[in-house]
Amino acid sequence: MVQKAPQVGKTIKKPEGLKWLDSISQSNSILSAILAVIHPELYDAGQKIFNQLREHSEIADPQDVLS
């Protein structure tokens, strides 16, 4: 089975999507830190996916929506 690289959805690149990402960023940071402590393997798997998205997705906006 061939695995495809993960993709960033087109909706997330729109102004509404960027606004939503901005509004959840603090909560996401807190939850990410908690996950790193209570389940490091799952945290590492999530970070691996974010890194793959950064490397392989074509984000049209100058702002990196995955930061």
Site of tokens 């993709």? 7
Q: Is 32 left (phi over 0), alpha (psi -120 to 50) or beta?
A: alpha
- Which range, of 35-39, 40-44, 55-59, 61-65, averages the lowest pLDDT? 61-65
Taking the complete model, does pTM exceed 0.85, yes or no?
A: no
Contacts of 60 (CB under 8 A, 6+ apart): 13
59 band by pLDDT with thresholds 50, 70 and 90 = low
Q: How confident is the model over 10-53, as pLDDT tens digits? A: 666 677 877 887 888 899 899 999 999 999 999 999 999 878 77
Coil, helix or strand at residue 37: helix
Q: Name the token pair of 8.
A: 């960033």
Q: Which residue has the higher pLDDT, 14 or 8?
A: 14
User: How buried is residue 37: exposed, middle or buried, by Cβ count under 10 Å (0-12/13-18/19+)?
Assistant: exposed
